[in-house]
Structure 1
Amino acid sequence: MKVRRNALISAAAALMSGLLVYSIYVLQLRGIEHQDSVRVVVPKRFVAAGERLGADDLTYKPLAGSAYKEGMLLDAEEAEGMEAVVPLGESEPVLKWKLDRYHLLPRETESTFQLPREYVLSVSNGIRAGDSVVIYVSGDNTRSSRLFPEEVTVASVKTSGNQEVDDMTNPNLLSLADGDKEKMYASRRNANGMIEFVNLNLTEEQWLKIDSLCKDGTNKLVIAYRPLTMGTEGEAEGGAP
């Protein structure tokens, strides 16, 4: 009887020891996970492209450190008042490139410049306000080439009557805000008016380079439409930031 009791006590002690070791292991594992995790900003709901984010639309979500990618927001205040450039999914980590405060307004280092008509050789008839364009230079004494490595944002495109070139029944900007590519395409097909004036958001350095190349008439600009595309890693490859 005594031997049996001792065996039961030994088994119970071994079980308790095992549970204690396992509990310590779980606590240590949770501590490591907590140390390696980061809190990223996520929307509380689906946010359509073009919507402006408020404090009530945002919250935080813990994310494993290994899953964190550069560009994810860590402070919700950075996103407040910003517009969603593309749709944002509920609880999806918010990336900086997906937000913009005033998409058509120049950034801090930019100004809006209207290109003189004599500076322009050709303009893609498909461009609209908010688009990204690629600028090329062409001239008799200059090898044709891309002028800037980065795309430039179009602030507005106007007819000779100073009217915005667009489909008034289906404005391109509204379709862009909704992320509706079919309506955006239809808007470009149905828009009336020849583009006479193009306003671009440029840095001072960019404008001075354009002016120095084109003011004597030997060189002209070719402005080509560049649609917004998505890379495999979820980063914008050809759009405005």
Structure 2
Amino acid sequence: MNRKKQAAISLSAAVLSGVLVYGVYVVQLRQLELQEMTEVVVPKQFIATGTRLEEAHLTTVAMPRTALLPEMLTDVSEAVGLEASMPLGGREPLLRWKIDKYRLLPRAGQSTFQIPREYVKSISSGIRAGDEAVLYLSGEEAEPRRLFTEAVSVAGVKTAANLEIDNPKNSNLLSMANGDREGMYASRRDANGTIDAINLNLTEAQWLELDAACRGGTAKLVIAFQASSIREEARP
């Protein structure tokens, strides 16, 4: 009887020892796996082209460090404020080339409208593609007022020869992308022509409101350059 009891105790001890060893192995393996994983930024769900990314749109997921590519973002703050250059799949690693800071394309819910010449009273000579502009209504029979509370994005400004207004030797957009405020200022002083046409990115509601205000001819647009295009958006 004692031998059977001792054998049972020995067997139980061996089993417990094996379980303990296996548990330690699992813990060590898990720690090793965690050490070889890294966090990458992903959209929480599908994001349409033109959407300006906010922190609420993004999260991080773990993936093997060996699968990490240089164009993948690992910090959510890197993506906040940028815009989607193409549709972004939910829970897919966010790649740098799929987002941009300075885009001329309309955002989600917008279209690009060329503003009829007869609607325009004046355009600030400093406006360039990629800027933010403020629209005002002015007319003899209408009380001057700001048309929209928010500024609108300028998709393009062209000369009568249909050439984009810029300094060919010192592109405003290139300076903007590089965060070169001095270059942006210089390019505005040495432009290649006078503004004849301007394209704005507007929502349908904005365009309809603008058209209704100007088509009668009693009020026209004064399009003003917003300096925050340089101060806030282009930081070195």
- Classify the TM-score, shorter chain: 0.5 to 0.7
Partners of 1:180 and 1:124 in 2: how far apart? 21
Looking at CA atoms only, which structure, 1 or 2, has the larger radius of gyration? 2
> Could you say what secondary structure the match of 1:143 adopts?
coil
Q: In the aligned structure 1, how far is the partner of 2:112 from the partner of 2:229?
A: 24
Change in Cα spacing, 1:181 to 1:221, as seen in structure 2 (3 Å) is: same
Shift, 1:100, TM fit: 1.5
In structure 1, list runs of 5 or more residues that go unmatched: 1-38, 43-69, 78-87
Distance 2:194 2:200 in 1: 17
Amino acid across the alignment from 2:213: L
- For 1:191, the aligned partner's letter is A
What do the CA deviations read for 1:61-106 (whole angstroms, capped 9, x no partner)?
Answer: xxxxxxxxx83764259xxxxxxxxxx9x96833622x12341101
**What residue number does 1:175 align with?**
175
Aligned residues: 157
Contact 2:154 2:198 in 1 (8 A): yes
- Alignment RMSD, CA only? 2.9
CA distance in 2, matches of 1:40, 1:142: 54
Q: Secondary structure at the match of 1:216?
A: coil
2:3 aligned partner: none
**TM alignment of 1:5-20, pairs within 5 A:** none
**1:72, 1:93 within 8 Å by CA — same for their partners in 2?**
no
CA contact (8 A) 1:157 1:164 kept: yes
For residues 134 and 145 of structure 2, what CA distance do their matches in structure 1 show?
A: 11
For 1:197 and 1:105, locate their aligned partners in 2 and report how far apart those are by CA, in whole Å. Answer: 17
Q: % of aligned pairs identical?
A: 52
Q: Name structure 2 gaps, 5 residues minimum.
A: 1-38, 43-53, 62-72, 86-102
Superposed CA deviations along residues 4-48 of structure 1, whole A, max 9, x for unmatched, are xxxxxxxxxxxxxxxxxxxxxxxxxxxxxxxxxxx8959xxxxxx
Structure 1 counterpart of 2:186, which letter? Answer: A
| Separation in 2, partners of 1:223, 1:230 | 17
**Which residue of 2 is the match for residue 101 of structure 1?**
84
Distance in 1 between residues matched to 2:162 and 2:229, nearest whole Å = 30
